[in-house]
Each structure stands twice: as C-alpha cells, then as structure tokens.
Structure 1
Amino acid sequence: MHIPDNYLSPSTCAVMGIIMLPIWTRAVKKVKTDVSKKKIPLLGVCGAFSFLIMMFNVPIPGGTTAHAVGGTLIAILLGPYAATISISIALLIQALFFGDGGILAFGANAFNMAFVMPFVGYAIFKFVKNKLKGARGEYIAAFIGGYVGIVAAAFIASIEFGIQPMLFKDASGHALYCPYGLSVSIPAMVLVHLLVGILEGVVTAAVYAYVKKMSPDVIYDDVEKTKKVNRKPLYGLLAAMVVLCPLGLLASGDAWGEWDTEGVKSLVGYIPQAFEHGINYSAIAADYSVPGINEVVGYIISAIAGAAIIIIIFKIVSSIKKNNTSNT
C-alpha cells in the first residue's frame, strides 16, 4: 500500500501533506495531554510493530503481494491519535532508510495508513464492541475493525492513484504519473485488500488477545492509567517478529502500484514522464537489503535497525517529556 514517488503529482503530494499537518498537530497535542511519560515509549514499541508487520509480504492471486499494517491494533492499544504519530514515524523511517514508500508521497501514505486506517478501524471496533458483549465480542470487534480499516485505507489510496491520469496527461494523451484510472485502481486495490483484510483482522484480534492477557495495562480505554506498564511481553513479540520477518521474502512480485520503471512500461506500453524525470531517491538499505550481505541476513538487520530507530526516537521523546515535567 506504500505509494512510491512519481506515481502521484507533486501537487497531489503537496495537498496530502497539507491535509496531514493539522492532523499531526492535533495528534501531538492529544498525545501530550492524554499519554503519560510512562506510556510514551509504547508508541515506539507499537511503531516498531507496524514497521515489522509491514515487512511480512504475502502473495496475492495475480502475482502481486501485499501486507498488513497494524493500524487498528495500535489504535485499540494506544488510541487513534497515538496510532497516527506511531505509524507516521514508522512510515518515515521506511521511506528515508529503506525506500519503502515515496519521500514526496509521505503525506499521502501517512493519510492512508496513519490516519484513515486507525480512525476508521477504531470507530468500527468501538461500535461492534458495544453491540457484542464479553471477551469474544471484543475479539470479533478487533477482527472487523482491522479488516474494515485496511480496506478503507486501500480505497483512499486507489482514489489517489486513479485521479492522476484524469488530471495529468502529456500532449499525446499519456499519463504523466500513475497510468491507471479509477476504473482500474479501485477494484485492483480494494479487491486485493479484501483478501489482505483477513490477515489484518486476524493479526489485530490475535495480538489484542495476547496483550490483553500478558500486559492489559497497555490497552487504551479513554482513561489514562498511572500503573506501571509491563512492556516485556511486547518486546518478546517484537523479537519473534524480527526472527520470522524473512518469511516476507518468500512472496514474489510487486505490490499493485509499486512497480519500477520497466515494470510500468511492460504493463502499459510506455513510460510516464514522471518516471523518467521525477524524483529518484536512493535509500541506504533499499528494499531492506544490505549490500554485500546475504538477503535473509540483510532483511533481519534491516528489521532490527528500523525497529530500534523507532523505539529510540520515542524513548528520547519520553525523556524530554520527563525532564520538562520535572522542571515545571
């Protein structure tokens, strides 16, 4: 679901970035007031979880791949505003260091996966949870919330893709950016994620059940808790994901809308101008690979590095908040 650079026009990217600015501002304010310094590091843990789960690519009929995101799960655990911040940082690290998602398209990717997904998924979770009582009802609500959340995000991404050839064409009528219109992008993205939504729902419900059993004080319930949060089970989960992440290499093919220049040419018969003259950012460890190192080992190193960077960022933020609190 990561939109690479050159698939969206600079103006589309700018609009999506501008839309995200007040969302990020609101999210930061909510996290400052609603999340204690003890729980700030959990944003890093959840951001690392999202980063890692997105490395588990799964094959989709038709030769493409896709992945879960964990947006609704993080919203359930920490609240939707905290999820926005947590996932946004994960997406930023992916784009900057691993070339997963565009630099200019960061605002669009954040809108889809860090805003639409957690807020829609969390709203569905709360609605279903209130209708179905008991623990079983909560797990069903988590599954449905995760499922609907990722499908909603995919639908919005398909709109962003699909309007490009309607708005931006060259003199010969060829698309300048994404070459597929809404009639192709919507079914392609949504149908894929109707399948991936099952994985997203299962992950959401399963991890929610795990956290509820092992570290229930983590779970967000609109009331900030002051008890010490046991993060060890969460770190254990991250460690297991790091070890297992090379399974994501088993899925071959590109995700829909994430083809390289030659891939686009083979599909539509021409190369959109943006792919030849657009942004060409070279990430340090593109595609989660480390030059000169075995693919599997490089994937694990990338997983460790990405997760560690995200956790460290939020630990620094937590220490700053702690110092500011002690000085007031």
Structure 2
Amino acid sequence: MHIPDGYLSPQTCAVGFVVAVPVWAVAVRRVQRVVKNRHVPTLAVLSAVSFLAMMFNVPIPDGTTAHAVGATIIAILLGPWAAVLAASVALAFQALLFGDGGVLSYGFNCVNMAIIAPFAGVAVYRLLAGRSELTSARRPVAAAIGAYVGINLAALAAAIEFGVQPSLFHNSAGAPLYSPYHLSQTIPAMALAHLTVAGAAEAILTAGIVAYLQRANVALLRVNHPNVTVPGEAADRRPRRVRPIAVALGAVAVLVVLTPLGLLAPGGAFGEDAPEDLNLHKYHLNAVPSGLNKYNGFWNHAIFNGYDFSSDSHPTVGYIISAVVGIAVIGAAIFLIGAGVRWVANRRSPRQEPTKQP
C-alpha cells in the first residue's frame, strides 16, 4: 500500500499534503490528553508494532504482496488522533530510512494509512461495540471488523489515487506520464490483496490485542473508554506476576525476530515495482512513463534501502537490524513529540498563583 515516488504526479502529491497537514496540526493538539496521562510509552510501543506489522509482507497471487498496518488498534486504545501521529511517524521513517514508500507521496501514504484507516476502523468499532462492557466478547469482534474495514478503505483510496493518474496526466499521444495503471487494474488488484490476506491479518492483530488487554490490562482499554463499565473491576486490580508492559516488549521482540518472514513474499507490492521492471508490453507502452522515470529516484538517501544494508548478501540479518533500528528511531521520535506537546501544553495552561494566607 506504500506508494513510491513517481507513481503520483507532483500535483497529486501536493493535494496529499494539503489534506494531511491540517490533520497533523489538529492531532498534535488533540493528543495532549494522552501525553498528560503519561501514555507516551504505550504510544511508542504501538507505533513500533505498526512499523513491524508493515514489514510483514504477505504473498498474494499474481506476484503482489500486502501487509497489515496496525492503525486501528492504536485508535481503539488511545484515540484516532494518537493513531494519526503514531502511524505518520512510522511512515516517515519507513520512507526516509528504508525507502519504503515515497517522500513526495508521503502525504497520501499518511492520508491512506494514518488517517483513513484509523478513523474508519475506530468508527466501525464504536458502532458495533456500542455500550457493551469493556470485557465483553463483543469488543474483540467489533475491533476485528473495524480493522478489516479500515485497511480496506485505505487500500481502496490508494487504488483510486493510482488509477486516476493515466486519465489525468498523459502526453499528447495519450501515454501516461506517471502510474500506467487504470482503475480497472488498480481496484481489483488492491481488493484481492486486502479483502483476503491483509484484511485478515489486520483483523487478527487488532482483535488479539484487545482480547489480551481484556484479561491483562483493562486499565489501558479504559483510556479511550472512560464511561464504559467494567464488571468486577476490583478483581482486576490484584497484583500480577507478569507486567503487561513486559509482555508487550516481549511481543515486540518476537516480532523483530520473525520479521524476515516478510522476505518470503515472491514479488513487490502492487505499484512498487522499479520502473525498469515494468511489463511495458502488458500496459501497451513503448517506454517507461517520463514522469515516473524522473521522480522515482527523488529520495536516494535511505540508509537501509529495502530494509537491508548489505546489497542483499545477508537479507535476514539486514531485515532484523532494520527492525531494531526502526523501533529505536520511531520510539525516540514519539518520545520527542510527546515531550514537545507536553511543553507546549504546559506553557499554554494558566499558572496558578499561590494563595495568600490572611
């Protein structure tokens, strides 16, 4: 679902930023409650989970791949505005450090995966969960369906952004300047990948985390559900031998070790092929579209390009090191953003004058 540079026109990329920037600005203000409640470590862990989930490329028929995003679970736990920031940070470093997704197309990648996915996912979750108790079996099911809907709407948006390019941007002879794929090709390809494998992966990931928290840490579920009842809450306060944060960090470590499974995917994700790898005959082209050829290498400073640093000589090691580096950088970025938001919130809040004794 990551759109590389060159597949969208500069005009289209500009629209993506026009949409995303105001949402980021609102998100920074709206996450102050999360920061004040000291849930920045949780946000950092969830952002790392989102980053790792996007490294697990699942093979799809016809040589394409797909992956989960993890945005809906962040929206369920900490709210959709927190999910916007967490997923946007993960996507930024994927583009800058790993060459996964474009820099010019970063705006629309965030619109799709950091805005549409969490807002749609949490809306469906809230609708289906209703006023059920936090420990109700209804909530993991609602979370699974919400995540499934969210990722598929994000995939549909990406398919439309790809598919309108040939009609909007072409030369005098009618040859596309950027993405050569039409809507009749992009929508079925993205639908096949996400209605089947990627949607199921997203649903299982989201429902599994909600179900685990219902048993291990209901207090975290309550952060974004302050008015929802919890039966037997007093029993939930009994001391536990294993802290939830330890389980979370352990799960992240396991995901890091398992990330090389993403290398099993037999092809590049739809639309992410290098221009020289395009099947020109299939798309009735005589040459690579000029705009695609020009902008595809816009950002060539990725340190771990393709989640590797050894020219594919040790791909498994490269993938694991990339996962560790990504977690460290994204976690640090989330902490810095949290500190900045807290600093701004403290400066804006009126200072209380000390009361004078009579």
* The two structures share one fold, judged by TM-score above 0.5: yes
d(CA) in 1 for partners of 2:250, 2:180: 43
- Number of the residue aligned with 2:266: 252
Q: Give 2:75's aligned amino acid.
A: A
Matched length = 325
1:10-43 Cα deviation digits (max 9, x unpaired): 0000011011111111111100245425112222
Q: Which residue of 1 aligns with 2:304?
A: 285
Q: Which runs of 5+ in 1 are unaligned?
A: none
Q: How high is the TM-score relative to the length of structure 1?
A: 0.93
- Structure with greater helix percent: 1
Contact 1:46 1:86 in 2 (8 A): yes
Cα shift at 1:250: 1.1
1:65–1:251 CA contact under 8 A, matched in 2 = yes
The answer on whether the counterparts of 2:6 and 2:293 sit within 8 Å (CA) in structure 1 is no
> How far, CA to CA, are the matches of 1:131 and 1:317 in structure 2?
33
Partner of 1:314: 334
The C-alpha deviation readout for 1:129-149, integer Å capped at 9, x for no partner, is 118776221111011011111
1:150 and 1:73 map into 2 onto residues whose CA distance is 12
Counterpart in 2 of 1:209? 211
TM superposition shift of 1:252: 1.4
* Matched residue type, 1:181: H
State the Cα distance separating 1:70 from its structure 2 match. Answer: 0.7
1:41–1:318 CA contact under 8 A, matched in 2: no
SS in structure 1 opposite 2:62?
coil
- 1:211 touches 1:234 (CA, 8 Å); kept in 2? no
| Structure 1 residue ranges (4+ consecutive) displaced by more than 3 angstroms after TM superposition | 131-134, 317-328
For residues 65 and 18 of structure 2, the distance between their equivalents in structure 1, rounded to whole angstroms, comes to 30
8 Å contact kept, 2:163–2:183? yes
What is residue 9 of structure 2 aligned with on the other side?
A: 9
- Structure 2: stretches of 5+ with no match in the other structure: 228-236, 238-242, 352-358
User: Are residues 1:175 and 2:180 paired?
Assistant: no
User: What letter is aligned with 1:165?
Assistant: P
Q: 1:79 to 1:2 in 2, by over 3 A?
A: same
How far off its partner does 1:209 sit? 1.5
Residue 117 of structure 2 is matched in structure 1 by 117
Normalising by the residue count of structure 2, what TM-score does the alignment of the two structures yield?
0.85
**Which residue of structure 1 lines up, in the alignment, with residue 199 of structure 2?**
197
> 1:319 Cα deviation (Å)?
4.0
| Rg (Cα) greater in structure | 2
Return the match for 1:239 from 244, 249, 253. Answer: 253
**Aligned-partner Cα distance in 2 for 1:323–1:18:** 27
Query: Aligned-residue CA RMSD in angstroms?
Result: 2.2
**Overall identity of the aligned pairs, in %:** 44
CA–CA separation in structure 1 for the residues paired with 2:68 and 2:77:
17
> What SS class does the counterpart of residue 288 from structure 1 fall into?
coil
Correspondence for 1:271: 288
CA-CA distance at 1:322 after TM superposition: 5.5
